[in-house]
Structure 1
Amino acid sequence: MTMYRWNILALLLIAPSLINCAVIVNDGDIDEQGLYSKSDHVVILTQRNFERRVYGQSHAAVVQFYNSYCGHCRAFAPKFKSLAAEIVPWRNIIQLKVIDCSVEENNEICREFEVMAYPSIRYIHEHYVKGNGNVGDRIIMTDTAEKLKAQLINKMHTEQSMGRLAFAPKFDITSYATYAAALSGVPFDTSYTFLVFENENSTIGSELALDINDYKQVIVKRVYDTSELAVVAGLTHFPGLVAVHSTLDTTNLTPKNTAKQNLLRAVNTYLKSKHYTFPVRDIADQDVLPYEHSDENNQRTSDSDTVYYSDLEKTLKTSLHTEITRHKSLSGEALNALLNYLDVLRTTFPFKNNNLKDYIEDLYNTLQSRNQWSGSDIYDLVKRLETAHAPIFNTQLEYIGCKGSQSKYRGYTCGLWTLFHTLTVNAAQKSGTKGPKVLAAMHGYVKHFFGCTECSEHFQAMAARNRLFDVKENDKAVLWLWISHNEVNLRLAGDITEDPEHPKIQFPSVSKCPECRLARGAWNLPAVYQYLQNLYGAASIQEYRRARSAASAPSPFSNLDIGMLSLLYILSFLILILVIKYFFTKRFYRKRHYKHGMGKV
């Protein structure tokens, strides 16, 4: 075999490895997931990078465990992003990090940290060690970024008093009688000391110290506003700010409006006047571009009042993969709630796939065999039974009727409403009175498993107020859920979590069901009931994307087909280059004559 052929064979053998090396990222770092992206000045955590990004770090961290389909998490995200952008200068001391617990591969991490409410925030101190019970310190949720920042600073005060955060500015507050006393103990190379006069409960001095923690030869010290030095400085309103040069020259910098931003501006203006060299900060542009709707995101279902089997399957898969497995340990009321949920699924879900039906039945029977399960054991069981009964779910599941204009809208929450409407209606179409059991199962599921804590609390309060457990008939169960859904729509209309392209209305709309309304807008309940029967009944559920246009139909090639075609294309290109090189080499090759002792060769 010629050398040329060997070269071709070698390329054929190593090309797949070269291609894989170009596309596979092993460190787990990603630029975007769920509600956050790298441009939000947060660290995106995943199951693959969590240990490397959290444990043993030289800085502290605030980790938010959230669920991307949780309405409260969506409403909180802008506040968390605002805080992250504001404290970028603190990043060598403390960083904000986020992990989406709705992503299946992250589920084990969220379970290990015993996250039972979303969003949950944990403080992780520097050099944190992995271990049982090491789940960080819980930070109380707040309604504003400013309150969360104040709580974070207070936590850092506590940490420093315990001997940690030694690398951070000193947060203690002291009284002084003279400027010389105030400068005692500062590093000898300090050129400028800024004294912030405030009360003990104020966080402005600490915040200012964190904002300029990377300024060389500059420190901030907190001083009691009742100290003798405040009188010497001639301060009349607080917080007060005084610059002290190493020569003991002083300048009162207290602005009229003593908000922290004004104090920071005063510090920077003063240093600029002294020709101070500011640190160069590598801060990404904080302006976030407005969301641009792609053609795919602009696609809307032609008939929004249609139930798609794909929506039901995707919701069911999410429920079983990420929600019922989030408990570290499951027993008692929570386990009974899971069994009741699986029971109504196996008896009232409109199965179009016998494998899925057998799988739910097997899961239900197996979970009854024990009084206690760990979340990881349930997850292993779910995956094992899926393999045993495969295929269970369609391989290309996506939301259709519940698809939002952006990934942060609708999706699973819409799917869960759709699932339980479907269960109540199909229960009503069977013999017996299974409808009320569906409502009870929904209540238990939302209480113990639904990944939006605030939503769960609202639903439980509504269930008590609207007397869910007093419903005894099938038709009443169907209408109870419809009334409750419209009540939630009314409460959330105009909320930050509302999809602007799918506003929350009182459904069905007049255009979809004109007979559902009486004079002056009153509901015609018999017509509404019939409409719900027609919408959510098994016979009306559409198969996946049967109604899609040819232009939007899925590719006839699988991911494997596309990968192989790409590989063949690249290999063909490489072979072509080698062939061209070979022929050009042959064409321009010239024999050379060399002289040696034996004559010409």
Structure 2
Amino acid sequence: MYNWYFVVTIIISLSLVDCAVIAKEDDVEEQGLYSKSDKVVILTQRNFERKVYNQRHAVVVQFYNSYCGHCRAFSPKFKAMAKDFAAWKPIIQLAVMDCANEENNEICRQFEVMAYPSLRYIHEQYIKGNGNVGDRIQMAETAEKLKAQVITKMQNEQSKGHLAFAPNFSIASYASYASALNDIPNDVTYTFLVFENENSTVGSEIALDLNDYQHIKVKRIRENSELGYIAGVYHFPGLVAVRSTLEPTNITPKNPSQQNLLKAINMFLKSKNYVFPSRDINHKDTIFIEHSDEKSLVSSSDIVYYADLEKTLKTSFTTEITRHKSLTGEALRSLLDYLEVLRSFFPARGNLRDYIIDLHTTLGSKQEWSGSEIYETVKRLEITHAPVYTSELEYIGCKGSQPQYRGYTCGLWTLFHTLTANAAQSPGTEGPKVLKAMHGYVKHFFGCTTCSEHFQAMATRNRIFDIKENDKAVLWLWIAHNEVNLRLAGDVTEDPEHPKIQFPSVSKCPECRSARGAWNLPSVYQYLLNMYKKENIWDLRRARSIAARSSPFSNLDIGMLSLLYIFCLFILILVIKFFLTKRFYRKRHYKHGRGTCRLRFAIKRLQNKNIFHNLISPWDEIVKRLRIVHLYSWHVYLS
């Protein structure tokens, strides 16, 4: 009986463990710019349906691109808003999805995400369908303005019959306290009346903040209501606490902001010995930030790594050009122009060139492609030409001090610098063709929408399509890059360990500046050609070799240290053996005293009798004579 009970217990335990493992595989603790400590739901291809559809609460999903500068700048605002939304979890939750992750590409394409970041409101019990891609929410400059937009959306949704389980967001006018509290349940102890404008969101936000307060209700009253005169509210938004017995208390603070109103409510309830709901307050304001101590192999802005270029192409092919739901017309032509300059001027290694040529030919065979078809083509040709990539597909020169810095944006600049430099060294005037392809790519495929708009405006202002010579194409891109660096210097997206400077620096290229600091354009041009030409692009092996030589110990030093270590170990063994042997002899001398001297004397007598005269005699003779010595020595010792 007990054996069967033991077996059943083990089976149940294993099944529970298995379930826990499955849940862990579906959910991730961190991805892209966010982690669970930011109070957001991390969405992936594997958990999207489970976390979004048929939920009992509404969801605001941010589709973003982790390498998009605007997304990086927006993430602190979204995280700040998520902290305020933490108490609203039963009603609405904030979720994020990194569209730069290849795994999530299909979901982002289904939701027709063409700009980053993109916010979608998804109401409760939302059903999966081709046309169900959520309601778009406009971006805002601050977290407070964005939060107000979300609350306005919730108010409108409730007026349509959704969010029935949420606090009542409606606003009305009343002539007396009795009429205002007419629909309040009997178990409510205090009702807080918020007098405000109909377009205000303060009352609704306070109602959401207090949604888990037991026996407490919040009600919105129009500021021009007759009840406002009765309550003596002259500053708006105004706040009046009304007991169930209709006893009012005006608690409007001098500065009636949302935070001050909430503070006034909590102070009032505290004075009434109200039992507040238990919340994880300490954890609410805690944000864990992991700092990576891993450095790039050789940190230098003058070095171009082939791994950076391959990683950039991989992201471009699998994530950016596949995000369109449908690709045709100008966008498709821009993609083919991009692939054309890649096949002509990219310094491909291994099978990558054949892969690009095949991809260009295949995508040029139709007038219209869906994003899923392009993705399937990209993956199929990867298998056909495998291995396509020769590196470990990790950023080296473009690696940021933290995951949210640099990466793909740095790689894309490096890629187009490489293309213009190599096009300038080809016969003819091919450099302007690269600029045209870059403009089309950034316009239609680059995931950072704001960055794309800035680039297009700069391209128009600096007349990108008027460039006709190779050297001017190289220098145009260099000027554009420095202009972007100047604009983003000191921005929240700037990597503190890789500040945005006007490159090349004086230390890297002294001849690129005149004595007065002005640019020497011919020297800059030669510098760029030399930096980005294919012969100077580093692979991973070269980087590691240079890193080893630049380390405190060279390979020769390491070899000498190894030999020294072995020699010291050998000496240590000899010293230990010497002391152990010496200790043994001392012990025998101490134990036997004069007997040892007698033994030596007896052995001397045996030697005089030539017992050890022939050491090369047969083995049995040697053993026999040694036995004689052994027995005689014991005889002397015992005597």
Which TM bucket (shorter chain)? 0.7 to 0.9
Residues 302 and 192 of structure 1: CA distance in aligned 2, closer, same or farther (over 3 Å): closer
Instruction: Name structure 1 gaps, 5 residues minimum.
Output: 1-16, 554-601
How big is the shift at 1:238?
1.4
Aligned counterpart, 1:564: none
Q: Distance in 2 between matches of 1:24 and 1:505?
A: 47
1:413 equivalent in alignment to 2:447: no
Q: Which one-letter code corresponds to 2:467 in the other structure?
A: V
Determine the structure 2 residue equivalent to 1:107.
Answer: 105
**Paired residues of 1:83 and 1:145 also in contact (CA < 8 A):** yes
2:336 matched to which residue of 1?
339
Question: Equivalent residues in 2 for 1:210-229 (5 A)?
Answer: 210-229=208-227
Q: In the alignment, does 2:327 pair up with 1:330?
A: yes
User: Of 163, 185, 188, which aligns to 1:187?
Assistant: 185
Counterpart CA distance in 1 for 2:234 and 2:290 is 51
- Please point out which of 482, 489, 514 is paired with 1:486: 482
Using the alignment, how far apart are the partners of 2:288 and 2:24 within structure 1? 31
Q: 2:192, 2:125 → 1: CA distance? A: 30
Aligned residue runs from structure 1 range 134-283, under 5 A: 134-282=132-280
Q: Identify the residue that residue 396 of structure 2 maps to in structure 1.
A: 400
Name the residue aligned to 2:607: none
1:290 & 1:106 partners in 2: Cα distance?
25
CA RMSD for the aligned pairs?
Answer: 2.0
- Is 1:68 the counterpart of 2:75? The answer is no
Q: Report the Cα distance in structure 2 between the residues aligned to 1:349 and 1:540, rounded to whole angstroms.
A: 13
Residue 379 of structure 1 is aligned with which of 367, 375, 389?
375
Secondary structure (helix, strand or coil) at the match of 2:395 reads coil
Match status 1:357 vs 2:350: no
Q: 1:459 to 1:20 in 2, by over 3 A?
A: same
Tell me which of the two structures has the higher relative contact order, counting C-alpha pairs closer than 8 angstroms and 6 or more residues apart. 1
The answer to whether the aligner puts 1:541 opposite 2:541 as a matched pair is no
| 1-structure distance, mates of 2:19, 2:257 | 52
Partner Cα separation in structure 1 for residue 239 and residue 550 of structure 2? 64
Indicate the SS of the match to 1:251.
strand
* Residue 298 (structure 2) pairs with residue 305 (structure 1): no
Give the letter aligned to residue 178 of structure 1: S
| Secondary structure, counterpart of 2:198 in structure 1 | coil
- Cα pair distance change 1:56/1:293, threshold 3 Å: closer
- Amino acid aligned to 1:321: T
Q: Is the 8 A contact 2:306 2:391 kept in 1?
A: no
In structure 2, relative to structure 1, the CA distance for the partners of 1:143 and 1:382 (3 Å cut) is same
2:117 aligns to what?
Answer: 119
Question: Paired residue for 1:496?
Answer: 492
Distance 1:543 1:25, change over 3 A: farther
Task: Confirm or deny that 1:369 pairs with 2:370.
Answer: no
Instruction: Please report how far the alpha carbon of residue 281 of structure 1 lies from its aligned counterpart in structure 2 after TM superposition.
Output: 2.2
What are structure 2's unaligned runs of at least 5 residues?
Answer: 1-14, 552-639
Instruction: Name 2:131's counterpart in structure 1.
Output: 133
One-letter identity of the residue aligned with 1:494: G
Q: Deviations over 1:265-324 (max 9, x none)?
A: 11111112222221122456134457464431x446343210011110010111001000
Give 3-state SS (helix, strand or coil) of 1:547's partner. Answer: helix
Deviations along 1:313-347, one digit per CA (max 9) or x if unpaired, are 01011100100000000000000000000000000
Matched residue type, 1:359: Y
3-state SS in 2 of match to 1:219: strand
Structure 2 CA distance for partners of 1:59 and 1:284, relative to 1, 3 Å: farther
Secondary structure in 2 matching 1:87: helix
| 1:348-369 Cα distance to aligned partner (Å, 9 max, x none) | 001122x111110000001111
Q: For 1:226 and 1:97, how far apart are their aligned partners in 2?
A: 38
Residues 88 and 283 of structure 1 are in contact (CA less than 8 Å); yes or no, is this contact kept in structure 2? no
**Secondary structure in 1 matching 2:130:** coil
**Cα 1:174–1:130, aligned 2, differ >3 Å: closer, same or farther?**
same
Query: Deviation at 1:239?
Result: 1.1
Asked whether the equivalents of residues 83 and 285 of structure 2 are also in contact (C-alpha less than 8 Å), the reply is no
Distance (Å, rounded) in 2 between the aligned partners of 1:21 and 1:86: 32
Match of 2:466 among 462, 467, 470: 470
1:388 aligns with 2:384: yes
What are the superposed Cα offsets for residues 8-57 of structure 1, whole Å, 9 maximum, x if unpaired? xxxxxxxxx99999976565211111111101111000000000000000
CA contact (8 A) 2:296 2:396 kept: no
- Partner of 1:401, secondary structure, is coil
Post-superposition Cα deviations, 1:521-561, rounded to whole Å, max 9, x if no partner, equal 111111001000110001111112422235999xxxxxxxx
Structure 1 position 192, deviation (Å): 1.0
Matching residue's letter, 2:301:
S
Larger of the two Rg values belongs to structure:
2
Equivalent position amino acid for 1:43 in 2:
V
In 1, Cα distance between equivalents of 2:384 and 2:236:
70
- The question of whether the paired residues in 2 share the 8 Å contact of 1:39 and 1:284 is answered with no
Are positions 1:98 and 2:104 aligned together? Answer: no
Output the CA distance in 2 between the equivalents of 1:506 and 1:109.
39
TM-score, structure 2 as length reference = 0.81
Check 1:475–1:20 CA distance in 2 against 1; reply closer, same or farther (3 A cut).
Answer: farther
Are positions 1:320 and 2:323 aligned together?
no
Q: Indicate conservation of the 8 Å contact 2:341/2:433, yes or no.
A: yes
Native 8 Å contact 1:67 1:451 kept in 2:
yes
State the distance in 2 between where 1:331 and 1:434 align. 25
**Corresponding residue of 1:429:** 425
Residues 45-73 of structure 1, C-alpha deviations (whole Å, 9 max, x = no match): 00000000000000001100000000000
Q: Secondary structure at the match of 1:546?
A: helix
Q: Which 10-residue stretch deviates more, 449-458 or 388-397?
A: 388-397
**What is the CA-CA distance between 1:234 and the residue it aligns to?**
1.4
Amino acid at match of 2:454: H
What secondary structure sits across from 2:187 in the alignment? coil
Cα 1:520–1:436 shift into 2, 3 Å = same
Report Cα offsets for 1:437-474 as digits up to 9, x if no partner. Answer: 10000000000000100000000011101111111111
What CA distance in whole angstroms lies between the structure 2 residues aligned with 1:379 and 1:262? 52
Query: Number of matched residues?
Result: 535
For the 8 Å contact 2:486–2:502, the answer to whether it is kept is yes
CA contact (8 A) 2:38 2:287 kept: no
Q: 1:195 to 1:164 in 2, by over 3 A?
A: same
Q: Which amino acid aligns with 2:349?
A: K
